[in-house]
Homo-oligomer: A and B are copies of this chain.
Amino acid sequence: MDGTRVFLANSNQHINIGKEKHSRNGFVYVKNPHLDLMEEDILYHLALGTKTHNLPAMFGDIKFVCVGGSPNRMKAFAQFMQKELGHEGEDNDLENICAGTDRYSMYKVGPVLSISHGMGIPSISIMLHELIKLLHHAKCCDVTIIRIGTSGGLGVEPGSVVITDVAVDSFFKPQFEQVILDHVVTRSTELDQDLASELLKCSRNDFPTLMGHTMCTYDFYEGQGRLDGALCCFSNEKKLEYLKRAYNAGVRNIEMESTVFAAMCRLCGLKGCSTIKI
């Protein structure tokens, strides 16, 4: 085990995956040879499955997936999409497709899927594994996924929107360390630059919009320099010094899901972007 930890610290021994291109004819793909051998694939935390649901019929037309932490917000976003797409009359009462579980909530409005992911890397990671399999089973093509939400800002005006160019960890590195069994694998966290630029162009004058790095931490209090957790052993000066270093490294906002989101989108052919309000 110590060997693995040294392996962790010694970056030239890292296994680097995630350099692949985004396209495989535009399909969302899985990277798991075992799935082909399975008779049934149960998406436990979404309360869906390949034998119990006709996934291509239910989801085959999906082109956009929007994800965010809070179930209420993702329902509100779906209602907003109903208005925007003129689907209001058809189905006023949005049905939570994942009603069979209370882990996540999911709503579909035409080609748009709106899903909650809870808080933190492990929670969004479970959802992304099952969402990617869902899109794969449904034979979805050219899917864009956008993380929407709120976060703490760094040297930017409150009310601004930060579009993430790259997600970085607590050490300002553009990488996500995935533990696979007891091996640590480093994955790239660069997001789709064309999509980010396109979204930046969509910004209006209502609020400032900028592109920047998003820092992703495993902890809301001690990890993000907050002085009001149950535990805090650093001074205000130490906190400011750290946040200044983050700013100088290009970080403009801090949240808890972006590194694994970026890493998994890259690996599975999803054009991903994160747009977060401060």
What residues make up the interface of A, taking CB atoms closer than 8 Å to B?
1-2, 4-6, 8-9, 11, 30-35, 38, 41, 69-72, 102-103, 118-123, 125-126, 128-130, 132-133, 136, 170-173, 178-182, 217-223, 225, 227-234, 236, 238-239, 242, 256, 264, 267-268
**A121 surroundings in chain B (CB, below 8 A):** 120, 122, 218
- CA gap between A34 and B264 in the complex, in Å: 38
Could you list 17 examples of A-B contacts with CB < 8 Å? A1-B172, A5-B9, A5-B171, A9-B9, A32-B232, A41-B228, A69-B103, A120-B121, A121-B218, A122-B122, A123-B123, A125-B221, A132-B230, A133-B229, A178-B222, A179-B219, A230-B268
Report, nearest first, the 9 A-B pairs whose CB atoms are least far apart: A120-B122, A9-B9, A132-B230, A32-B232, A34-B227, A181-B242, A1-B171, A5-B9, A129-B229
* Residue in contact with A181 in the complex, picked from B31, B128, B239, CB distance below 8 Å: B239
**A267 surroundings in chain B (CB, below 8 A):** 231
